[in-house]
A = this chain, B = another copy of it.
Amino acid sequence: MSETVERVRSYTFEEFVDRVKSFHGYEAIGVIIGGFMIDLAYSRLPENGLIDAVCETSKCLPDAVQLLTPCTLGNGWVRVINVGRFAVTLYDKRTGEGIRVFVDPAKIGAWPELEAWFFKLKTKKEQDPEDLLKEARRARADMCGLQAVKVADWVRKPRHHGRFVVCPVCKESYPADDGETCLACQGKLAIEGHDRSSEPYFVLLENL
């Protein structure tokens, strides 16, 4: 990006901002910063290797991953473990070894616009989107920490590929491993890692 993000997708900064607008709907600063974070992670990874990703938030960051790597939500190469930290790990899927990049609160103070955005010190109205974007472009991943990590096997292993059966309650198909009925009919619902088990997520108005 800016000048790099080779290897997978190569954009100038302006091109990347355009791609963010087109995919994400607007120039979200979190996606822009995410782009620099991914750039930094790639710079520390070996040239070859199949790269998978983990995001620790579902906000913004996964879109940077989806724009700049082969990993998408639907192909399962990026997975979200939503603990609310602005951090992304790119790792070699054979070994689990990789690079974790996170926004470091100890470093972000050097970038007042980014700090205000990150810690929500200003309302949306008080923020100047242009100043923020300019500062982000100068900062790149300067406010980030970097770690060599090994991703756990349970994250690396492919999602379950067992048998599918028809649920006796809703008559739709579901993974047999989930139990006697599907998780929806069991009322076992979760959204972005937060359990919501007791509340149905839609009401049927009419079969069409």
Contact = CB atoms under 8 A, between A and B. Distances in A.
B83 A73 contact: no
Chain A interface secondary structure, helix, strand, loop or mixed? mixed
Given A159-B59, A191-B81, A204 B149 contact: yes
Contact of A151 (B164, B202, B208): B202
Nearest to A151: B202
Given A56-B184, A73-B73, A152-B199, 7 more contacts: A23-B66, A24-B74, A25-B75, A147-B204, A148-B208, A152-B203, A183-B193
20 contacts: A30-B74, A59-B159, A73-B73, A80-B191, A81-B189, A81-B201, A83-B183, A84-B178, A85-B172, A85-B184, A103-B172, A103-B173, A104-B172, A105-B172, A119-B163, A120-B163, A148-B205, A155-B201, A190-B190, A190-B195
